[in-house]
């Protein structure tokens, strides 16, 4: 068990997941949280990462640092997503093992599953078929990370576990309209159109793909739970186990925002995977279940967006 005074490194502490992990760990009373900003430590540089681990000697590591983005960014920045994620995870996981870290949690993503896998996605379906093209480079990197954790456990008894979160949303998300995931894009698009008197909103693809969404505070809570309660070799899915079509998610966000205008679908943009709802029976059997209902989570995320993101932007 991770004790409150032990040294915990949260890699990627400024991002969507990392910042939620920081909130969750602080709230649970952990006091020795190690962080390094991008300008202090470049995780793509192996020697720098090794020097950091040798000097700071963390006992636990949450690896939430990654090059991430929505379908547009994944599809356009294919080399960056493959190279940077492989570099970051190789450097951090290997240096953690070498410097004697007691336990590491690696974060993957539900896009590691085959595009046409049966639904809901069970952990056993990994590597049972071809991947979705738009995020193949990212998925290949994440699969390599899972395999490195398994191999270090097999060969050296390193306690590295992995989790596969579904599509996450919440505070400190990326709201850039070209590179973001769908939920932050919907929040921003509907909010801005609403402010401009219900101008039409353009969304990507057909609206028919289905996605499962989980509030990032629930995801972080599950990650801390796994760090405390799970030492297994196989990774664990993190999700709600429930999905909706993009069209229905859009209707829900429009309702939360109060937008009453028209939605136009841009078919020149990709749909991506038709469906990827996680089977969360393993996580439930371990004793964890999400808390936020979707509408409540969306209201919370929208409130944060209005008070923090839109306010900061308005202030220049
Ligand atoms: O969240 P998202 O960007 O990525 O898009 P994925 C999900 C769905 O929303 C796609 C549609 O079917 C999009 O076509 N969509 C509709 C939009 N309007 C928009 C919009 O304005 N912006 C965006 N971004 N999408 C990512 C992977 O896949 O999910 C990553 O590329 C990772 O590797 C992540 O796994 C969790 O869910 O398709």
Does residue 246 belong to any structural domain of this protein? Answer: no
CB 92 within 8 A of CB 61: yes
- Residue-wise pLDDT for 162-201, tens only, equals 999 999 999 999 999 999 999 999 999 999 999 999 899 9
Question: Rounded to two decimals, what is the model's pTM?
Answer: 0.98
Does residue 155 belong to any structural domain of this protein? Answer: yes
The residues carrying an active-site annotation are 138
- pLDDT, residue 316, reads 81
Of all protein residues, the one whose alpha carbon is nearest to atom 20 of ligand 1 is: 182
- Residue-wise pLDDT for 66-75, tens only, equals 999 999 999 9
Cis upstream peptide for 120 (omega within 30°): yes
* Mean pLDDT confidence for 251-275: 97
Residue 96 phi/psi, 5-degree rounding, is: -65, -45
- Tell the burial category of 184 from Cβ atoms under 10 Å away from its Cβ (0-12, 13-18, 19+): buried
Sort strands 60-63 and 7-11 into parallel, antiparallel or unpaired.
parallel
Q: Does the beta carbon of 272 sit less than 6 angstroms from any atom of ligand 1?
A: yes
Does residue 2 belong to any structural domain of this protein? Answer: no
Does residue 200 belong to any structural domain of this protein? Answer: no
Residue 99 is part of which domain span? 8-172+213-241+276-292
- pLDDT, residue 314, reads 87
What angle, rounded to 10 degrees, do the helices at 246-257 and 182-195 form? Answer: 40
Instruction: Number of helices (H) and strands (E) in the chain: give both, helices first.
Output: 11, 12
We report the CATH number of the domain holding residue 97 as 3.40.50.720
Q: What is the phi-psi region of residue 258: left when phi exceeds 0, alpha when psi lies from -120 to 50, beta otherwise? A: left
Does residue 61 belong to any structural domain of this protein? Answer: yes
- pLDDT, residue 175, reads 98
* Mean pLDDT confidence for 122-128: 98
Q: Does the beta carbon of 275 sit less than 6 angstroms from any atom of ligand 1?
A: no
CB 194 within 8 A of CB 312: no
Question: Rounded to the nearest whole angstrom, what is the distance from the C-alpha of residue 158 to the centroid of ligand 1?
Answer: 34
Q: Given the CA of residue 74, which atom of ligand 1 is nearest to it?
A: 31
Q: Which is nearest to 294 in space by CA: 251, 233, 237, 236?
A: 251
- Residue-wise pLDDT for 281-307, tens only, equals 999 999 999 999 999 999 999 999 999
Does residue 146 belong to any structural domain of this protein? Answer: yes
Does residue 137 belong to any structural domain of this protein? Answer: yes
Does residue 133 belong to any structural domain of this protein? Answer: yes
- What is the count of structural domains for the chain? 1
Q: Which is nearest to 186 in space by CA: 171, 202, 172, 198?
A: 202
Side-chain half-sphere exposure of 93, counting CA atoms within 13 A: 28
């Amino acid at each position: 068990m991770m004790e409150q005074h032990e040294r915990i490194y949260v890699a990627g502490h400024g991002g969507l997941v990392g910042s939620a992990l920081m909130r969750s760990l602080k709230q649970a009373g952990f006091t020795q949280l190690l962080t390094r900003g991008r300008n202090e430590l470049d995780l793509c540089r192996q020697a720098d990462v090794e020097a950091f681990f040798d000097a700071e000697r963390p006992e636990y590591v949450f690896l939430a640092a990654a090059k991430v983005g929505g379908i547009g960014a994944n599809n356009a920045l294919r080399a960056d997503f493959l190279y940077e994620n492989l570099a970051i995870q190789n450097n951090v996981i290997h240096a953690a093992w070498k410097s004697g870290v007691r336990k590491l949690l690696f974060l993957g993503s539900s896009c590691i599953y085959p595009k046409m896998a049966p639904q809901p996605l069970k952990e056993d379906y990994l590597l049972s078929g071809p991947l979705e093209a738009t995020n193949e480079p990212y998925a290949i990197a994440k699969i390599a990370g899972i395999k490195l954790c398994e191999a270090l456990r097999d060969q050296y008894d390193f306690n590295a576990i992995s989790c596969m979160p579904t599509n996450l949303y919440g505070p400190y998300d990326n709201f850039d309209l070209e590179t973001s995931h769908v939920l932050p894009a919907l929040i921003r698009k509907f909010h801005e159109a609403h402010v401009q008197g219900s101008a039409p909103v353009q969304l990507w693809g057909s609206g028919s793909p289905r996605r499962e969404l989980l509030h990032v505070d629930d995801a972080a809570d599950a990650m801390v739970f796994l760090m405390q309660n799970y030492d297994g070799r196989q990774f664990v899915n993190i999700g709600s186990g429930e999905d909706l079509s993009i069209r229905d998610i859009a209707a829900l966000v429009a309702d939360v925002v109060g937008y009453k205008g028209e939605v136009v679908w841009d078919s020149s943009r990709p749909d991506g995977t038709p469906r990827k709802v996680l089977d969360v029976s393993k996580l439930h059997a371990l004793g964890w279940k999400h808390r936020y209902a979707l509408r409540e989570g969306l209201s919370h995320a929208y409130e944060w967006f209005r008070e923090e993101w839109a306010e900061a932007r308005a202030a220049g």
